[in-house]
Amino acid sequence: MFKGKFAFDADFIGSLLKAKSPPLIGVDISSSSVKMVELTGSGRGRYRLERYTIEPLPKDAVVDGNIMNLEEVGDALRRGWKRMGSRAKNLAMALPSAAVITKKIVVPAGQTDEQLEAQVETEANQYIPFALEEVNLDFQTLGPAPNSTEDVEVLIAASRKEKVEDRVAVAESVGLKATVMDIDAFASQNAFELMQGQLPDAGRDQTIAVVDVGASMMNINVLRNGQSVYMREQPFGGNQLTQEIMRHYSLSVEEAEAAKRNGGLPDTYDSEVLAPFMDTLALEIARALQFFFTSTQFNQVHHIFLSGGSATIPGLPEVVAERTQVNTVIANPFVGMEISSKVRQAQLTVDAPALLVACGLALRRFDE
């Protein structure tokens, strides 16, 4: 990995794409909450969920993946760490995909680290619209190039330094340390590997869309045989449902959020507000798949996994499946995993779809 001025800070263990740092807590900072997951090994390559928490964030503390209020995010992180009761102080954190420029390049095999670094730096200059002094830059060799035995495929990743530094600062403000910095889409993909066994033939040669419906943004990552073949971000999320509840029932933001989570709305809520929201969400997913079909060589998606806070709306998988004509299931990376007695199973079932990124980050503890 890069040394000197292009590297992550000297005290930054690991890198954007590759690190090992046990023990570790996966921390996903989204626009609505701080999600934290800690896993341990339970033998024979299996994992155990030791503890997790979801701490809500004040409105606008995080906007479009950018930390706008370090103190409020730090407070949520501190509360979550105390609530978990963990002794681990090392964190795996993630940048939003939109904050990271990634590019796959093909280079001759057999190069030394120094030669590869020099070539990556040259390539990065072509694709990154900032001075290299302003970015954290990293790369990882993925393996042999698809069409040449004499070349290898390398993934370059770069992000503005302040994006990384903000997350490091939040951790340090509460006495914790960010030792791994990943990308949310890659972390989600890491967690998805735990769910592949649920599919026929473990998903081999099948095209699978992981659709994360967050508070303000919907992220689509289409995978095939463990590789991402398409990513898309659309400005749609659970906030739209909150706004409809506010408008329909003349409630404040806080009242609408509470009603959305805890119930207590009129009997007409399902038909007048929730059903139209689910239809619109399904339509947004169908549109995203159409963009995928028109911009790639693929013309079919075999399965959709729904993740994010809105994924557990009753009946949503059926609505999406009907609209897209694709088998649709709720993402749960903890299925088949050993669960600590400290974790409430019923609550985990509700929260699991929102924990995909945090789980994927927690898995970095077991990187070779």
Q: Is the pLDDT of residue 12 over 70?
A: no
Looking at residue 117, what is its pLDDT?
86
Q: Half-sphere exposure (CA, 13 Å, Cβ side) for 368?
A: 1
Looking at residue 136, what is its pLDDT?
87
Q: Is the pLDDT of residue 115 over 50?
A: yes
Architecture of domain 198-331: 2-Layer Sandwich (3.30)
Looking at residue 7, what is its pLDDT?
34
Tell how many helices (H) and how many strands (E) occur in the chain. 11, 16
Superfamily of domain 4-97+162-188+353-366: ATPase, nucleotide binding domain (3.30.420.40)
The residue assigned the tokens 């994006």 is 163
Question: What is the DSSP code (8-state) at residue 334?
Answer: T
Please write the tens of the pLDDT for every residue from 255-286.
Answer: 888 888 888 889 999 999 999 999 999 999 99
Compute the distance between CA of residue 319 and CA of residue 285 in angstroms, rounded to an integer: 11
Compute the distance between CA of residue 167 and CA of residue 181 in angstroms, rounded to an integer: 9
139-153, 174-188, 333-347: least confident range: 139-153
Task: Give 36's contacts (C-beta < 8 A, 6+ positions apart).
Answer: 25, 26, 27, 28, 52, 53, 54, 55, 77, 80, 81, 84, 358
Fold (topology level) of 102-160: Dna Ligase; domain 1 (3.30.1490)
Question: In the chain, what is the straight-line distance between the N-terminal and C-terminal CA atoms, in Å?
Answer: 16
Task: Give 111's contacts (C-beta < 8 A, 6+ positions apart).
Answer: 119
Compute the distance between CA of residue 217 and CA of residue 298 in angstroms, rounded to an integer: 24
The residue assigned the tokens 């689910």 is 278
Q: Does 4-97+162-188+353-366 match 198-331 in CATH topology?
A: yes
Q: Is the pLDDT of residue 11 over 60?
A: no
146-160, 299-313, 317-331: least confident range: 146-160
323, 328, 332, 338 alpha-carbon torsion, rounded to 10°: 160
Its pTM surpasses 0.85:
yes
Q: What is the mean pLDDT of residues 230-250?
A: 93
Average per-residue pLDDT for the chain: 89
Residue extents of the structural domains in the chain: 4-97+162-188+353-366, 102-160, 198-331
Percent of the chain with pLDDT over 70: 94
Looking at residue 22, what is its pLDDT?
66
8-12, 135-139, 304-308: least confident range: 8-12
Q: Is the pLDDT of residue 314 over 70?
A: yes
Q: What is the mean pLDDT of residues 76-89?
A: 96
Compute the distance between CA of residue 95 and CA of residue 270 in angstroms, rounded to an integer: 35
Looking at residue 150, what is its pLDDT?
87
Please write the tens of the pLDDT for every residue from 120-132.
Answer: 888 888 878 888 7
Q: Is the pLDDT of residue 215 over 50?
A: yes
Per-range mean pLDDT, top range of 118-127, 136-145, 180-189 = 180-189
Looking at residue 130, what is its pLDDT?
80
Task: Give 189's contacts (C-beta < 8 A, 6+ positions apart).
Answer: 210, 221, 223, 228, 360
Name the H helices within 5-147.
70-84, 113-127
Please write the tens of the pLDDT for every residue from 22-57.
Answer: 689 999 999 999 999 999 988 777 899 999 999 999
Amino acid at 281: L
Helix (H, G, I), strand (E, B) or coil at 259: helix
Which residue did the predictor score with more confidence, 18 or 276? Answer: 276
Confidence band (pLDDT; 50, 70, 90) for 368? low
* Residue among 11, 7, 30 nearest 136 (CA): 7
Q: What is the mean pLDDT of residues 74-97?
A: 96
Q: What is the mean pLDDT of residues 329-344?
A: 95
CA dist 197 to 192, 272, 278, Å?
10, 38, 28
* Contact criterion met (CB below 8 Å) for 180 and 21: yes
Looking at residue 213, what is its pLDDT?
94
C-beta atoms surrounding 162 within 10 Å: 14
